[in-house]
């Protein structure tokens, strides 16, 4: 006799552990994506608080709130936290949430590795931030850790290198997982050129990370052995070359800049067609432009170090190769504008942030072009003009794209619509204050105010005061963002499955909120 039975209660099922253990042991891509996003939100406020310490000190000339050493620690840690603790994890969180759903895959290819790659990060940042409480203080030589200055740091140096190694391991694990998922777990019929742009940009980003992280790991390890084991890789006294550290660092560092912005391009390329109610203009050219930017990012590193001195031919090469990046970037901006052209546009919060991104990222791109010109760069180098440039790229660029993504996909994550009115208030307050914060930095930079100093000449006082007002306004505006998220999580108008009228893609075919397990049966893509 053979029989068949169905039960609803058995001890053999694979449910998550209860309480905190669910989050500790989870291998579900949505859980891990949520953890990444929450972690980066918390770190956004940690890094933001450091920025506010900097801006409070710079509100007026003179030394008034913190001592210069702590100020330098704040500039160093602010950068490390924002790059490795906010922007990168947030993009990885979005990748975790959205890539399997966009590809029609049930989960990431390596779920346990995914769990590890997340949990390494809070550990690494605990180590890193704990150095602020050491007798010698936290790292204060800048996030680039140039020798010989960085070799004169206190005991925190070894801890920072240790933490950087762990962050690198986490990034590599995350990247490998993304690459393995994209190549091996696409639904039948989902060819490479049918993949959403967000998936494409993440694939290229993951490749950049895999290629450059060993370079960074090797560079900081050589610093460590120079400091503790008597080697002389970068010590001129022992026959080493400190300038070579800069070359090696920026060989990692410049692709890192694109690691921080390419996924943002993918997000904006998803949002604009939805609210323009038109397909993305020039999908193929977008893919090739992304790949071109990634390739060029490997051959432009020395534009960060024109002032160290290099042969004229090298200066010309790095100047022109840097300028060439504006071509594929221009293709992208053109395609976004062309997508909006004669579209049936509406301006919900994600679209507002996306349009804000296009406008303000372009401002950052244009100041980047100015910095690419070698003779001009020698004038601008290490001034607040550079600070203005990269903050325009990273804040109204990368951070705005993350906010756009949150508003865009939050109804899919929570099943509830967010408060549109509060979202729009958040956008406008953020946009006004972010420009108040960073635009004056162009002026003080062109006038010669150096970066990384806690005090400055009186002639820079007015613009610095305005920038500080902008910083506090932008910082407090983010409390609106947190409130919108909490409110949306707790309830609100129920979201439909498609959420947005013009939304297109596999992620919009599943229920809202997205079920814990999606695409267990792979869809057939026509």
Partner 1 sequence: MLSVFAKRQQLSDGSEQGVSQVLVQANLSMSWHANLVLAGCIAVVCFGIAITLAFMGFWMVLPFAGLEVIFVTCCLYWTVKRLSRKEIITVKDQEIMLEWGYNQPDERISLPRHWSKLVYNAPASIFDVGSLFLQSHGKRHLIGESLGREEKKELYEVLKGLLANKESNTGAAG
Contact set with partner 1 (CB under 8 A):
1-10, 12-16, 22, 28, 105-106, 109-110, 113, 172, 176-177, 179-180, 183-188, 190, 207, 210-211, 213-215, 217-219, 221-222, 225, 233, 244, 248, 251, 515-517, 519-522, 524
**What's the closest the beta carbon of residue 306 comes to partner 1, in angstroms?**
21
Does residue 29 have an active-site annotation? no
The one catalytic residue among 30, 78, 389, 391: 78
Please, what is the end-to-end C-alpha distance for the chain in angstroms? 44
Contact yes or no for 65/57 (Cβ under 8 A): yes
The one catalytic residue among 247, 451, 452, 487: 451
- DSSP tag of 299: S
CA nearest 139: which of 190, 228, 76? 76
| CA distances to 139, 216, 227, 295 from 148, in Å | 14, 17, 10, 31
**What's the closest the beta carbon of residue 368 comes to partner 1, in angstroms?**
24
Give dist(CA 24, CA 212) in Å, integer.
29
Does residue 254 have an active-site annotation? yes
Two tokens, residue 177:
């997982």
Which lies closer to partner 1 via its Cβ, residue 323 or residue 522?
A: 522
Question: Helix H segments across 229-298?
Answer: 242-259, 262-276, 283-296
Contact yes or no for 383/446 (Cβ under 8 A): yes
Two tokens, residue 348:
């919900």
Which lies closer to partner 1 via its Cβ, residue 175 or residue 329?
A: 175
Give dist(CA 234, CA 227) in Å, integer.
10
**What's the closest the beta carbon of residue 471 comes to partner 1, in angstroms?**
37
Give dist(CA 378, CA 354) in Å, integer.
33
The one catalytic residue among 55, 186, 227, 332: 332
The one catalytic residue among 73, 150, 170, 349: 170
Give dist(CA 436, CA 462) in Å, integer.
12
Q: Give the three-state DSSP class for 383.
A: strand
**What's the closest the beta carbon of residue 62 comes to partner 1, in angstroms?**
43
Which lies closer to partner 1 via its Cβ, residue 68 or residue 515?
A: 515
Which lies closer to partner 1 via its Cβ, residue 155 or residue 524?
A: 524
Does residue 451 have an active-site annotation? yes
Is the alpha carbon torsion for 439, 440, 443, 446 positive or negative? Answer: negative
The one catalytic residue among 212, 235, 269, 414: 269
Does residue 304 have an active-site annotation? yes
**What's the closest the beta carbon of residue 178 comes to partner 1, in angstroms?**
11
Does residue 7 have an active-site annotation? no
Which lies closer to partner 1 via its Cβ, residue 301 or residue 500?
A: 301
**What's the closest the beta carbon of residue 462 comes to partner 1, in angstroms?**
46
Contact yes or no for 206/178 (Cβ under 8 A): yes
Does residue 143 have an active-site annotation? yes
Contact yes or no for 409/98 (Cβ under 8 A): yes
Which lies closer to partner 1 via its Cβ, residue 87 or residue 187?
A: 187
CA nearest 439: which of 363, 331, 525? 363
Which lies closer to partner 1 via its Cβ, residue 298 or residue 439?
A: 298
Q: DSSP for 137-169, please give it.
A: -S--STTTT-TTGGGG--THHHHHHHHHHHHHH
The one catalytic residue among 143, 283, 407, 409: 143
Does residue 501 have an active-site annotation? no
Contact yes or no for 353/361 (Cβ under 8 A): no
Contact yes or no for 315/340 (Cβ under 8 A): no
The one catalytic residue among 31, 107, 226, 507: 107
Which lies closer to partner 1 via its Cβ, residue 96 or residue 362?
A: 96
Angle at alpha carbon of residue 92, lines to 80 and 170, rounded to 5°: 60
Contact yes or no for 84/489 (Cβ under 8 A): no
Does residue 12 have an active-site annotation? no
**What's the closest the beta carbon of residue 522 comes to partner 1, in angstroms?**
4
CA nearest 254: which of 310, 199, 215? 215
**Interacting residues of 241 by C-beta distance below 8 A, sequence separation 6+:** 234
117's enclosing H/E stretch is helix 111-130
- Based on the number of CB atoms within 10 Å of its own CB, is 95 exposed (0-12), middle (13-18) or buried (19 or more)? buried
**What's the closest the beta carbon of residue 295 comes to partner 1, in angstroms?**
11
The one catalytic residue among 205, 235, 290, 329: 329
**What's the closest the beta carbon of residue 345 comes to partner 1, in angstroms?**
35
Which lies closer to partner 1 via its Cβ, residue 28 or residue 478?
A: 28
**What's the closest the beta carbon of residue 320 comes to partner 1, in angstroms?**
22
Which lies closer to partner 1 via its Cβ, residue 52 or residue 300?
A: 300
Which residues are marked as active site?
78, 107, 143, 170-171, 254, 256, 258, 269, 303-304, 329, 332, 451
């Amino acid at each position: 006799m053979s029989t068949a039975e169905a039960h609803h209660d058995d001890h053999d099922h694979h449910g998550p552990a209860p309480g905190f253990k669910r989050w500790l042991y989870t291998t579900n891509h949505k859980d891990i994506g949520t953890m990444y996003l929450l972690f980066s939100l918390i770190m956004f406020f940690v890094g933001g608080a450091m920025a506010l310490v900097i801006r409070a000190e710079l509100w007026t000339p003179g030394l008034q709130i913190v001592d210069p050493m702590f100020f330098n620690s704040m500039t160093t840690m602010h950068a490390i936290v924002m790059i490795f603790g906010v922007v990168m994890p947030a993009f990885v969180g979005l990748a975790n949430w959205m890539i399997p759903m966009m590809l029609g895959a049930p989960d990431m290819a390596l779920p346990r590795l995914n769990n590890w790659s997340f949990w390494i990060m809070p550990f690494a940042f605990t180590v890193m931030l704990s150095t602020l409480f050491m007798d010698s203080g936290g790292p204060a030589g800048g996030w680039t850790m140039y020798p010989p200055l960085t070799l004169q740091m206190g005991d925190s140096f070894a801890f920072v290198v240790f933490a950087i190694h762990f962050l690198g391991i986490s990034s590599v694990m995350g990247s490998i997982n993304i690459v393995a998922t994209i190549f091996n777990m696409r639904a039948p019929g989902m060819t490479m050129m049918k993949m959403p742009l967000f998936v494409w940009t993440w694939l290229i980003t993951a490749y950049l990370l895999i290629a450059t992280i060993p370079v960074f790991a090797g560079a900081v390890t050589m610093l460590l052995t120079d400091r503790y084991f008597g080697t002389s890789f970068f010590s001129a006294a022992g026959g080493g070359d400190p300038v070579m550290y800069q070359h090696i660092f920026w060989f990692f560092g410049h692709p890192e800049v694109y690691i921080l912005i390419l996924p943002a391009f993918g997000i904006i390329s998803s949002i604009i067609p939805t609210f323009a109610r038109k397909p993305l203009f020039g999908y193929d050219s977008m893919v090739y432009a992304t790949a071109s930017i990634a390739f060029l990012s490997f051959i432009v590193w020395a534009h960060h170090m024109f002032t160290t001195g290099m042969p004229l031919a090298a200066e010309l090469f790095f100047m022109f190769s840097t300028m060439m990046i504006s071509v594929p970037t221009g293709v992208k901006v053109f395609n976004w504008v062309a997508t909006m052209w004669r579209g049936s546009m509406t301006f919900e919060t994600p679209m507002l942030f996306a349009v804000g991104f296009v406008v303000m990222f372009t401002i950052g791109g244009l100041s980047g072009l100015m910095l690419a010109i070698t003779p001009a760069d020698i004038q601008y180098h290490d001034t607040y003009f550079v600070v203005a440039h990269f903050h325009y790229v990273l804040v109204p660029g990368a951070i705005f794209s993350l906010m756009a993504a949150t508003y865009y996909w939050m109804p899919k994550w929570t099943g509830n619509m967010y408060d549109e009115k509060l979202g729009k208030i958040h956008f406008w307050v953020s946009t006004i204050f972010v420009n108040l914060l960073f635009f004056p930095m162009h002026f003080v930079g062109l006038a010669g105010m150096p970066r990384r100093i806690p005090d400055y000449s009186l002639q820079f006082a007015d613009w610095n005061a305005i920038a500080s007002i902008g910083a506090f306004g932008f910082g407090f505006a983010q409390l609106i963002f947190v409130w919108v998220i909490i409110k949306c999580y707790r309830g609100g108008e129920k979201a439909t499955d498609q959420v947005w009228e013009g939304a297109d893609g596999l992620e919009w075919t599943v229920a809202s909120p997205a079920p814990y397990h999606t695409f267990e049966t792979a869809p057939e893509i026509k």
